[in-house]
Structure 1
Amino acid sequence: MSLSHAPELVHISSGAEAIRTALDERKFDLIITTLHIEDMSPIAFARRVKEAGLDIPVVLLGYDNREMSELLATKDFSIFDKVFIWQGDYRIVLAIIKFLEDRNNVENDTKKVGVQSIILIEDNVRFYSSYLPIIYTEILKQSQNLMSEGLNLSHKYLRMRARPKILLCTTFEEGWEYFEKYEEYVLGIISDVDFKKEGRHDPNAGIEFARKVKERHSDIPILLQSTIGENEIKAGEIGADFLIKNSPTLLEDLKKFMLNNFGFGDFVFKTPEGKEVGRAKNLLELERQLKKIPDESLLYHASRNHFSNWLIARTEFWLAHRLRPQKVTDFATPDDLRQSLINSLREFRKSRQVGIISDFNKESFDPTITFARIGGGSMGGKARGLGFVNRLLSDFEVRYHFKGVKIFVPSAVVIGTEIFDYFVNNNNLLDFALRSDNDADIKKKFLNARKFPKDVVEALKDFLTIVKTPIAVRSSSLLEDSQDQPFAGVYDTFMLPNNEKSLELRLEKLLKTIKRIYASIYLKKSKDYIRMTSYRLEEEKMAVIIQMLVGADHNGKFYPEFSGVAKSYNYYPISPLKSSDGIAAVAPGLGKYIVDGEMPLRFSPKHPSRLTQFSTIDDMLNFTPNHFYALDLNSEFKVETLDEERMIKKYTLQAALEDGTLNFTCSTYSKDNNRIYDGAERAGPKVFSLAPILKYKLFPLTDILNLLLEMSSWGTASPVEIEFAVNLSVPQGKPAEFALLQMRPMVIDSELEELDATDYSEESLLCKSNRVLGNGIKNDIRDIVYVNRRKFETKYTSIMAEEVEYFNNKLIGMRAPYLLIGIGRWGSLDPWLGIPVKWEQINGAAAIIESNYGNTNIVPSQGSHFFQNLTSFKVGYFSVNQIDKDNYIDWDWLDKLDVEEEKIYTKRIRLEKPLTIKINGQKNFGIILKPE
């Protein structure tokens, strides 16, 4: 944005420490607080700031979730200077700072210079939190255009600071006071229609405000917004523009209105005589120039500390202080001096990249360590998580903490969201994609779109000249991996062999893949997901991560020894394990096995020897992974269809045995004596048990997981989930690789009330279970969709999934949350273990029951995106094992109810009175009460 400087941000965890720090240092201009402070409520904190005599504005920045909505509706927030909502757009921080600067500076700057102002009247926190980043971005872009005409640096920044002020108001009187005070300097007005006037909500306040303004100055542009379409006529009558707030293109239309209506130096190498022999804008150019400038110029600058002085001016303090003590006389020859300077610059540039995100540069990109970005805008939630954990690894020096192991985030480049904006807008895709409900048409249109920024294409070509090994191309949207709605598994990920000889062909495939990921925002499953949240689809933007794939080439198959997901909180602890012990799910090969919801090996990193789900030999044989996924390096990838199934293929464990990748991860079953022996040496069927690692510590997996989970939980102040891959097939002398692929906060219900869910007779209960996810009370569910147990057969579970989807879509259309009851595991990829629904097929369910069938005990999934979405939407989740006396479903009561609609295998019931669902999240116990 060409701002004169970036603000320094200081992070503090407790309110008491924040107040103490502010009092001691007296250097802070702003305090931003979230809803969750470890030692007091934010309201109490803001009050104590004022009581401490600190004249510092306090702003509340909260998540757009249920908790925030309830607080806004019930609490008085006047203690704060303003309340904003975080919606994934990093520019909200800029907007908060600029809002406060404008409020403080408007009177002085208007009086002295005649700076213009835009009055924004909006009392909805969510809307002005969306508007302000958009408005400030457009104004600062305009200021940049003006800056190019500046005569010198001071003149340029004067132009920047002479930009229009934004005056945010929430009431009629506040807006009118600003208008009367700066009447001659008002550039325009953006206003809601319904807001407070004279202390009461007035549905015509905005119309009245606009009318009074137009009576005085008919040429002031005014934009009115409302959720009521009829207000467009009223706006037109007084000469104001109008936008409907429910429009899918509201923010884009706001930008269009504004566009249409609101009009340090280089290092110069010289000879002692003053002749210029070279010039450098940055450290890389400085390094290049040092290689070729004449000795006399080198000695001239080195003897006068010009290099260290220039570095200090560029805030490269560490390198400057390293070079300053050196003298020309310390080196035998000018070439020795030259090489020392070049080596210092190169080492410094490389060290800076460890643990940070740099701008991509072909010359400095190191495929072993670099995490870089291409293009501006946000990096999205997934990349932010990776960048954060990458920084933690460096700050705590964890990378080589374990002997013989390298812990790292795979090298990657991130394409920022500005490139997504460019692609969507310049190819005229936005309106079509927002309104279309045909996935095939959306994919085709995105793939065929031709306009892509040339500089980005060139950067990607440079990247591919360096990286010729397999890559993963992954989504990283604004909202992905957020604390309230992780969007897990909603968007696409592709893996490319990236091994063709033709650079142009590899580039074409990469660009097509990026376009497909862009398109995935607008596909049906994404729209269905966002519809269930408080977000707007047009607010979502996509960054893309291009990441080195972890693993090795095994006879034309690329994969790691194993991949996994580890969580610091276990939703289903089996005694003696505790929820806080965490849980890990591991499978051989690529992580697709776990993401798709298949049956991984599960264990607690704190108690790795307790595999409580395996009580018998048969359990080990039947419920451990018997296949794996790998990238086929010899597959022919069709660019037109991007059919990932042609590349990611399923293989048996025998293939892994032949590749030599089971040596550290398997056991062997002996048919002769019906026993399982650790290791792969014996003859017999192999079982993926991870025994050589979990029992004999041949690789410090559990120690690594415990350390990373603890570190990440501390770093995010919440439970976390990490995805990882382990590659043991490394060249001799190289350390084994533990790669962190993703880190996201887990969503755990913040309701802490201990519910009494035991004082009820069995006759009053539809269901009870001691394996329940969630917490709290639901009492608004009158619809039940359930699988007919009398007709249930595992061979028909795919048909059942289609029937459930039919009822789900119908009830979503009716805005009716419902209880879903099934047999076997919901969301299982294996139809023999349960009903293979995807999340979008059941996303209208407010509570879900899964029951075992026969004597089969179905273990709930802990590793799939499906399961993550259940927790994200705070769906009550009951797992019922009817062999256990503490588990119960009253099937007979269900069968006696009148059926509203019936399919072959499923029924829908409509109750006259709602069910009551009570879940005690502290004890993982819950009940569902029949209507009174």
Structure 2
Amino acid sequence: MKSESRLASETKLKELLKRYSGLTSRIHQGLLVALTMRGHINLDDILEKAQHAVAEGDPNRGLAKRWGSDERDAVHRLVRKYAAKHFNVDEIDTIVQSAVTTERIRTVEDLAKESRASFEMIHQKLREHARKRQEKIRNGETPEDEPMSVRVRLINRFVSDQLEYIGVARHSLGIMDLLPVMDRTIGPRNSMGRIGGKAAGIVLAQKVVNLYYENHPRPKGFEIGLPDTWFLRTDLFLDFIDQNNLAHANDLKYGPREEVREGYPMLLQVFKNGHFSTYIMGRLRSLLKEIGKHPLIVRSSSLLEDNFGSAFSGKYQSIYVANQGSLEHRLEELVGAIAEVYASTLHPDPIEYRDDRNLIDYDEQMGIMIQKVVGFRHGRYFLPAWSGVAFSRNEWRWTPRIKREDGLARIVLGLGTRAVDRVGNDYPRMVPLGMPDLRPEVSPQDIRRYSQHYADVIDLESNQFVSVPIQEILAIEHFPDMQRIVSILEDGMVQRPHTRIIDQDPAKMLITFDGLLQSAFPSVLRDILHALEKAYGWPMDVEFAFDGHKFHVLQCRPQGQRHASARVRIPEAIHESKPVFTACKYVSAGKIENIEYIVYIDPLDYEKIQNYEDLLRIGEIVSRLNHKLADKRFILIGPGRWGSDDITLGVRVRYGDINRTLALLEMARSRGDHTPEVSFGTHFFQDLMEANIQYLPLFPDERAVFFREAFFRESKSRLAELLPDAARFENVVRVLHVPAIAGGELLHLYMDGEEDRALAFLGPKTKD
């Protein structure tokens, strides 16, 4: 007579086989594996008994054969018999549910593998999987682990096809992490695309940070989150190109760079006046109804963006949308921004950038993130309390007390564009996260001079992105977090306010963030960066913003890195006639030997130019020299801030105008207003890092610095020989051929970052 437990197991198994009648083979397979793995039966014994039951057995047959229907039925009967004998009711239920889940996930994987499977098909199957998973959790059951192969296929199909990213993401992103992203994804109904590199970074960052705080205490009074985000897949970009007959435009990337640059404004207009399908317009209209009139940012997220070694920092467009007015007006504004981001795939800068990295033939496609701008309304403006960018490794250390691995942040009041872009005569707060109180400025006068004077905001009345004086923002009452943001300059002293209510003249307020830096913020940010670096196995950078209540991570990507090099020591035995210049401030490690050409633009000569068109022409000349000298070893020395948006403070250039130089030096004279802003952390600096271009600020009029003025101002310039039509600028843009000046010798630049010293000197050619 059978025991009660065995009868119960048989009954339970019959019930489950009836419930999952379409999965009987999968259930029997799961039970057979469990019986074998736990040592209850021997697989060969089962097969032998099954063959005997159907009167088969041929010793001359192969070691393995496909079962016939009779053999399969016999095996299944034996499996049920032994399962009821060896497993209790709960064990049978667990094994069967595992088999059912595995089959369900296998179906998702099969769909992900199927190239013709649409986004809607995969999304629906994932929803079904999530519903059944939640049912198990509600019933107190433990969901089974997801097969790694399923994760990889879904990440590849929907998120990113970059192998480095997949190798990181598969350890953190589960199937259930993708479903909320899919729920907020827009694209054509019958195709499949990816969300792109920038979106991939933020999705993974969210999961890594959440996993970190599952094992570490969350900071009190410091809530961390992500902005509300919606994703436009890359197949929508392809659909837009096809619908507007723009496929031919992709051939422009193979044309001469001058033609690409000249033709881009017309191409931009064509894109901005393109059309989206009725279905997509309906989805975007519904999205705007859901969001309301909250300001938005339309951010690029191309397939190549934010990847290891190719961050594309600032190469593609991100556009703020005020999102005010009627629904149809807001829709047109949003659609125009999306089209402009699409057009930026053919902007000359990313094309040049791709060409430099042998990525020009890659089928680049653009995804998009639509994010609510983090912030609040303050008077007529919309802005966050503060925002910025942070790096897990600090390449700018002005004192040995600062550790590279502690990281660095650039923080500004308002929108973070002033932290990542090279702007006019303005400065973010640079914060070494391990020693946040340290700053290179000491005197109150220097603290005032090197503080932020303008804020980037969205003007909700004019519907524009604008820069306004800090005093105008601070004059409006009740600015959030103000006590932690400002310090008061009074009677020659810079002091933090003592109360939350600050009754002071805004003209006396300086943006120092001293209060914020004495809070938990630096350590929290450092923890987040270290968690991301550990997950990626690579130094990371993040962009962030604070809305007065919550800290938001806006972007996450691998940090640009120069080629690793050992410490460079300055040669001591240099003849007194050989040095050309020295530097002793903000020096990073590096060595450039055998420099043949110097392109030199003195700040005093540059500031004499009053004609705006001539100032633009200087940038064009630098760009042409960049290509003319591409096969030579040359460096650029110029006034103030290369690439600044204020052309009076530095030569206006973009990445493709300076990407062939070995080093970029920024020069400040004691006379004039051209002051270098240490550019570490800007998109501009990230380009220099990735291209392995050395950066060095020069202060030739300081007492501790040597600068051989006559070498630069009295030596013959070769500009007219190289660019005859630019001869009238020869006194401003001086092209020095070093061997012709120095009797065949070349220039060598040694930079010792640990001692904060640099020396450029003449000498014979060194061995490669």
TM-score range, shorter chain: 0.5 to 0.7
Q: Percent identity?
A: 22
Q: 1:627 aligns with which of 446, 454, 471?
A: 454
Q: Secondary structure at the match of 1:565?
A: strand
Match of 2:682 in 1: 864
CA distance in 1, matches of 2:680, 2:465: 26
- What is the CA distance between 1:458 and its match in structure 2? 3.4
Q: 1:669 to 1:431 in 2, by over 3 A?
A: same
Match of 1:611 in 2: 439
Measured against aligned partners, the alpha-carbon deviations of 1:190-241 in whole angstroms (never above 9, x if no partner) come to xxxxxxxxxxxxxxxxxxxxxxxxxxxxxxxxxxxxxxxxxxxxxxxxxxxx
Match of 1:675 in 2: 493
1:783 to 2:597 alignment: yes
- What is the CA distance between 1:479 and its match in structure 2? 2.2
CA distance in 1, matches of 2:611, 2:689: 24
Q: 1:717 to 1:551 in 2, by over 3 A?
A: same
Q: 1:885 to 1:455 in 2, by over 3 A?
A: same
Match of 1:54 in 2: none
Match of 1:544 in 2: 368
1:577 partner letter: I
Match of 1:214 in 2: none
Q: 1:578 aligns with which of 394, 398, 403?
A: 403
Q: 2:251 aligns with which of 434, 446, 457?
A: 434
Q: 1:815 to 1:752 in 2, by over 3 A?
A: closer
Q: 1:718 to 1:836 in 2, by over 3 A?
A: same
Match of 1:379 in 2: 195
Q: 1:319 to 1:602 in 2, by over 3 A?
A: same
Contact 2:483 2:502 in 1 (8 A): no
- What is the CA distance between 1:374 and its match in structure 2? 4.3
Task: Give the alignment of 1:662-811 within 5 angstroms.
Answer: 663-667=482-486, 669=488, 673-679=491-497, 681-684=502-505, 685=507, 686-695=509-518, 697=519, 700-728=520-548, 736-761=549-574, 762-770=576-584, 777-779=591-593, 781-788=595-602, 791-793=605-607, 799-800=614-615, 802-811=617-626
Match of 1:396 in 2: 212
Contact 2:395 2:588 in 1 (8 A): no
1:881 partner letter: F
Match of 1:592 in 2: 417
Q: 1:602 aligns with which of 430, 436, 441?
A: 430
Contact 1:356 1:390 in 2 (8 A): no
- What is the CA distance between 1:836 and its match in structure 2? 4.7
Q: 1:162 to 1:844 in 2, by over 3 A?
A: closer
- What is the CA distance between 1:404 and its match in structure 2? 2.8
The answer for unaligned runs of 5 or more in structure 1 is 1-24, 26-152, 164-265, 267-279, 287-310, 327-350, 366-371, 637-645, 729-735
1:752 partner letter: S
Q: 1:794 to 1:659 in 2, by over 3 A?
A: farther
Q: 1:755 to 1:416 in 2, by over 3 A?
A: same
Match of 2:33 in 1: none
- What is the CA distance between 1:879 and its match in structure 2? 1.9
- What is the CA distance between 1:574 and its match in structure 2? 1.6
Task: Give the alignment of 1:388-537 within 5 angstroms.
Answer: 388-397=204-213, 401-435=218-252, 437=260, 438-450=263-275, 452-468=276-292, 469-502=294-327, 504-536=328-360
Contact 2:604 2:669 in 1 (8 A): no
CA distance in 1, matches of 2:682, 2:141: 57
Measured against aligned partners, the alpha-carbon deviations of 1:708-743 in whole angstroms (never above 9, x if no partner) come to 121122222222221111111xxxxxxx21011111
CA distance in 2, matches of 1:920, 1:380: 39
- What is the CA distance between 1:536 and its match in structure 2? 0.3
Q: 1:822 to 1:844 in 2, by over 3 A?
A: same
1:791 partner letter: D
Task: Name the structure where strand makes up a greater proportion of residues.
Answer: 1
- What is the CA distance between 1:377 and its match in structure 2? 2.5
Task: Give the alignment of 1:265-276 within 5 angstroms.
Answer: none
CA distance in 2, matches of 1:716, 1:815: 35
Q: 1:443 to 1:828 in 2, by over 3 A?
A: closer
CA distance in 2, matches of 1:772, 1:690: 22
1:681 partner letter: I
Measured against aligned partners, the alpha-carbon deviations of 1:898-922 in whole angstroms (never above 9, x if no partner) come to 2111515221223446544445566
Q: Secondary structure at the match of 1:553?
A: strand
Contact 2:603 2:640 in 1 (8 A): no
Contact 2:388 2:420 in 1 (8 A): no
Measured against aligned partners, the alpha-carbon deviations of 1:230-273 in whole angstroms (never above 9, x if no partner) come to xxxxxxxxxxxxxxxxxxxxxxxxxxxxxxxxxxxx9xxxxxxx
CA distance in 1, matches of 2:287, 2:487: 44
- What is the CA distance between 1:748 and its match in structure 2? 1.8
Measured against aligned partners, the alpha-carbon deviations of 1:673-717 in whole angstroms (never above 9, x if no partner) come to 22233226243321112123224x3xx321221211211222222
CA distance in 2, matches of 1:458, 1:559: 29
Contact 1:880 1:888 in 2 (8 A): no
Match of 2:472 in 1: 654
Contact 1:567 1:709 in 2 (8 A): yes
CA distance in 1, matches of 2:179, 2:588: 37
Contact 1:573 1:579 in 2 (8 A): yes
- What is the CA distance between 1:775 and its match in structure 2? 5.6
Which of 651-660 and 855-864 deviates more? 855-864
CA distance in 1, matches of 2:349, 2:640: 24
Contact 2:390 2:543 in 1 (8 A): yes
Contact 1:409 1:741 in 2 (8 A): yes
Q: 1:478 to 1:768 in 2, by over 3 A?
A: farther
The answer for unaligned runs of 5 or more in structure 2 is 1-36, 38-105, 143-172, 253-258, 720-726
CA distance in 2, matches of 1:794, 1:568: 41
Q: Secondary structure at the match of 1:439?
A: helix
Task: Name the structure where helix makes up a greater proportion of residues.
Answer: 2
Which of 511-520 and 570-579 deviates more? 570-579
- What is the CA distance between 1:764 and its match in structure 2? 2.7
- What is the CA distance between 1:590 and its match in structure 2? 0.8
CA distance in 2, matches of 1:907, 1:924: 28
Q: Secondary structure at the match of 2:522?
A: helix
Contact 2:543 2:556 in 1 (8 A): yes
- What is the CA distance between 1:315 and its match in structure 2? 9.2
Q: Secondary structure at the match of 2:577?
A: helix
Contact 1:797 1:835 in 2 (8 A): no
- What is the CA distance between 1:557 and its match in structure 2? 1.4
- What is the CA distance between 1:807 and its match in structure 2? 3.0
Q: 1:315 to 1:930 in 2, by over 3 A?
A: farther
CA distance in 2, matches of 1:162, 1:390: 29
- What is the CA distance between 1:800 and its match in structure 2? 4.9
Q: RMSD in angstroms over aligned alpha carbons?
A: 3.7
How many residues end up aligned between the 2 structures?
Answer: 581
CA distance in 1, matches of 2:375, 2:226: 13
TM normalised by structure 1 equals: 0.57
Q: 1:843 aligns with which of 630, 654, 659?
A: 659
CA distance in 1, matches of 2:466, 2:272: 21
Q: Secondary structure at the match of 2:330?
A: helix
CA distance in 1, matches of 2:631, 2:616: 19
CA distance in 2, matches of 1:474, 1:804: 28
Q: Secondary structure at the match of 1:826?
A: coil
Measured against aligned partners, the alpha-carbon deviations of 1:16-42 in whole angstroms (never above 9, x if no partner) come to xxxxxxxxx9xxxxxxxxxxxxxxxxx
